[in-house]
Structure 1
Amino acid sequence: MNDHRLVKQVWALAAYSNAIKVLLRAKTQLELVQGVCEGITNQFPYVVSWVGLIKENHTKDLLVAGVSGSASAYSDGIMVSWDENMPSGRGPLGAAIRTQKPSIVDDCDIDPNFLPWRDRAQKFGIKSCVAVPLHGGEKVIGGLIVYASIANAFSLPEIHLFEGLADEIAFGIEGLQNQAIIEQDKLRQEESQKLLIKSLESMVSAMSTTMELRDPYTAGHQYRVAVISEAIAKEMGCSPDQIHGLKLAALVHDIGKISIPAEILMKPVALTDHEHAILRDHVNNGYKVLKEVPFVWPIAEIVRQHHERIDGSGYPLGLKGDQILLESKILAVADTLESMSTFRPYRPALGIDKAMELVLGESGNQLDPLPVQAAKKLYDQGALNMLNSRK
């Protein structure tokens, strides 16, 4: 269940990011709405997305302002309103506009409120949908609805993302209508970038939590590695942006272990060669998950390379020296320190003193000397003593 929830979050975040890129470029309302719908439906499993706007003639039927998706013909000639006295107004989009809250249909085949559109939905392979209102200032100007080809495609994290996107659509429409395009674009870009980064951070946190729920022995491991990585990077004088990306990568550096059987992760004795091979593949699995998310930092590559070693003895690519990202070199040192210091099912905690001794022994051989030197300075200052308490 955790695995499926994570996948749904990745889908929604990718759709959100695709749509945000359009919002930053759009110069007309049609370009904005149509582009957002295309951005959403470029991501599986979303097969139709459209925006309905409340008509200025005060009737309660909706104007289709833009539609896209592999099943976009679903919307051809469709009658949708937000009048609760009409069957066409009792569906998810009408309900979202009327109540000013998201409306979800988990299964279109059985939801009674979706009956007027059930046959049409089945024809186009639509199984679930979510509708969110477009808030224009203090009023609702319409709604966004997204249809998926699988049932139960929308839970709270995905709904929150689409709510944020709906707010951005409404803001964009108002800005274009008021013709304050240049200044509004600048503000929208800044706010959208902040919102995107915030969403990425939230998604990273959700991924990290999902991983830790499967592996109680390393609960908190990713968080502590992130703290150590951040401290080392600051000591080395890395830029704030580089440190930000490194910290996010550290928080999900073991996300690939979600595909590793729990009996291997928690085995209380040494692993066999075959089990080692399975475990090592977690870096490739993590890369496959993270490369689908349009981070502004090379998160996926940092994660894939964090077990590479400067002498070429690491995995999965056998990279050497400057072929390895600096962030991955820092992450390797932090990961080694945390792992060796703390308890594992197959051995007791060694403590920070022994871990530091081992890391210094690999400096210049497997581990890059610069992050090792920075870690040693932090160790001398007592900044890594937190690891002594992790038994």
Structure 2
Amino acid sequence: MESLNDLQKQNWALLAYAKASSALVRSNNRDELIEGVCNAIVNQSPYILAWVGLAMHDDLKTVQVIGTHGAAADYAKGIDVKWSPDTSAGQGPTGLCIQTSLPVLIADSENDPRFLPWRERSKLYGIRSVIAVPIKNHEPQAIGALTVYANLPNAFSEIEVQLFASLAKEIGFGLAAIEKQRLLDEEITKREQLNTQLVDSLNATIEAISKTMEWRDPYTAGHQKKVALLSQAIARKLGWGEKRIKGLYLAALVHDIGKIATPAEILTKPSMLTEIEMTLIKEHPKTGYNILKDIPFTWPIAQAVYQHHERLDGSGYPNKLSGDSIIPEAKILAVADTIEAISSHRPYRPGLGLEKAILQVKAEAGKTLDPAICEAACQLLEQDEFQKIMASTE
């Protein structure tokens, strides 16, 4: 039957293990993990110091103390510990543990010659026995050690060694998981930064394209800007998120980019277009799509441009799409484009005004235009939002 002393030692180790394991689970970063584990250990008598050291791969093979706790915590401050077999500082429990990747036990610090370099210092803090257990990640070689000190000789039997070795293994897993998460967070941050840069570059590209259109055809560029603002307002009314709205806005800014291939005399013709001229005009969604389709936008800008003249009943162009075959961005563009086209001046006629535009939208709602989008547009008109938008771009 085990003695009371053995049972007490096991109980101390079990309690320390349980509390340290709990601290491991709650930790979100390396410092928090080490702090929690060391603190949990020294809350159990007779452990007066626990610290974690990581093996540095410098010329001296030093051991860096990354966390310490306990009544004898000052003992670890400035302590010279290495994991090189060529120095006396590397022959102590922590150094040997890292070298061999095995637990090292100092049953009595006053008698064990391996502890000689630290014996006098340890007496000042009441240290009598020490255990160092290896911390590993995915490699067999230890990356560091958990070292625990007690104020009693022979405080660690084989069972306690196994418990602390198991705890060190969990520390290794915890550190690896935290490092993996840190690297993942860094990668996510880098990608977000790159994505922001890409979006900024694409925004600049869109703005440049829009300005190019304006130099060639001031009417078309002004039309695109108004459609962009109208589309943005409709999307907000429908509850779209700002990121998606940004993509819609950019698509609207260049929705007529395909007209760059249309002869200028057709775009500015002061009379109604002939059938042949209309056929040429109807090529602009496809031309716009071909211009934009290979640009790596985050949003479906090329598709929105391609489909903005498609209609719910299949009467649109260029592909006679219908219903859900048309993406939501294109459906909003269709409504905004209709409102702007009817209300504003054309080379061949004066503008008919917003009221006339909305009457047309109401008439087409559920037939050629999406009814929910039409309703949102009508509500914005009643709130004078469209009037403000149109006035702001004059």
Judged with a 3 Å threshold, the aligned counterparts in structure 2 of structure 1 residues 331 and 266 are, in CA distance, closer, same or farther, namely same
Q: Alignment RMSD, CA only?
A: 1.7
Counterpart pick for 1:279 among 278, 281, 288? 281
Partners of 1:311 and 1:333 lie apart in 2 by 14
- Measure how far apart 1:190 and its partner are: 1.6
Q: Which runs of structure 2 are paired with 1:30-179 in the superposition (5 Å)?
A: none
Q: Does 1:187 align with 2:193?
A: no
1:342 touches 1:387 (CA, 8 Å); kept in 2? no
Match for residue 198 of structure 1?
A: 200
User: Which secondary structure state, in structure 2, belongs to the residue aligned with residue 220 of structure 1?
Assistant: helix
Partners of 1:266 and 1:317 lie apart in 2 by 26
Counterpart pick for 2:214 among 207, 212, 215? 212
- Which residue identity is paired with 1:370? A
Judged with a 3 Å threshold, the aligned counterparts in structure 2 of structure 1 residues 387 and 343 are, in CA distance, closer, same or farther, namely farther
- Measure how far apart 1:184 and its partner are: 4.3
- Which residue identity is paired with 1:308? E
**Structure (1 or 2) with the larger CA radius of gyration:** 2
- Which residue identity is paired with 1:355? A
Match for residue 383 of structure 1?
A: 385
Judged with a 3 Å threshold, the aligned counterparts in structure 2 of structure 1 residues 378 and 266 are, in CA distance, closer, same or farther, namely same
Judged with a 3 Å threshold, the aligned counterparts in structure 2 of structure 1 residues 360 and 323 are, in CA distance, closer, same or farther, namely same
Match for residue 315 of structure 1?
A: 317
- Measure how far apart 1:386 and its partner are: 3.7
Partners of 2:389 and 2:348 lie apart in 1 by 18
Q: Does 1:326 align with 2:317?
A: no
Number of residue equivalences: 212
- Measure how far apart 1:212 and its partner are: 1.6
Relative contact order higher in (CA < 8 Å, ≥ 6 apart) = 1
* Superposition misfits of 4+ residues, deviation over 6 angstroms: none
Partners of 1:199 and 1:238 lie apart in 2 by 23
- Measure how far apart 1:291 and its partner are: 0.2
1:351 touches 1:388 (CA, 8 Å); kept in 2? no
- Measure how far apart 1:292 and its partner are: 1.3
1:338 touches 1:387 (CA, 8 Å); kept in 2? no
Partners of 2:238 and 2:189 lie apart in 1 by 34
Partners of 2:337 and 2:309 lie apart in 1 by 9
Residues 17-47 of structure 1 show CA distances to partners (whole Å, capped at 9, x for unaligned) of xxxxxxxxxxxxxxxxxxxxxxxxxxxxxxx
2:332 touches 2:373 (CA, 8 Å); kept in 1? yes
Percentage of matched positions with identical amino acids: 50
Match for residue 251 of structure 2?
A: 249
Partners of 1:182 and 1:383 lie apart in 2 by 44
Match for residue 229 of structure 2?
A: 227
- Measure how far apart 1:211 and its partner are: 1.0
Residues 154-199 of structure 1 show CA distances to partners (whole Å, capped at 9, x for unaligned) of xxxxxxxxxxxxxxxxxxxxxxxxxx96554333212111100111
Counterpart pick for 1:361 among 360, 363, 374? 363
The TM-score with structure 2 as length reference comes to: 0.52
Q: Does 1:349 align with 2:351?
A: yes
Residues 335-382 of structure 1 show CA distances to partners (whole Å, capped at 9, x for unaligned) of 110111111101101111111111111111111101100000000001
The TM-score with structure 1 as length reference comes to: 0.52
Q: Does 1:239 align with 2:220?
A: no
Partners of 1:211 and 1:245 lie apart in 2 by 19
Q: What are the ranges of 5 or more consecutive residues in structure 1 without an aligned counterpart?
A: 1-179
User: Which secondary structure state, in structure 2, belongs to the residue aligned with residue 318 of structure 1?
Assistant: coil
User: Which secondary structure state, in structure 2, belongs to the residue aligned with residue 192 of structure 1?
Assistant: helix
Partners of 2:271 and 2:389 lie apart in 1 by 23
- Measure how far apart 1:387 and its partner are: 6.4
User: Which secondary structure state, in structure 1, belongs to the residue aligned with residue 240 of structure 2?
Assistant: coil
Match for residue 259 of structure 1?
A: 261
Judged with a 3 Å threshold, the aligned counterparts in structure 2 of structure 1 residues 183 and 380 are, in CA distance, closer, same or farther, namely closer
User: Which secondary structure state, in structure 2, belongs to the residue aligned with residue 384 of structure 1?
Assistant: helix
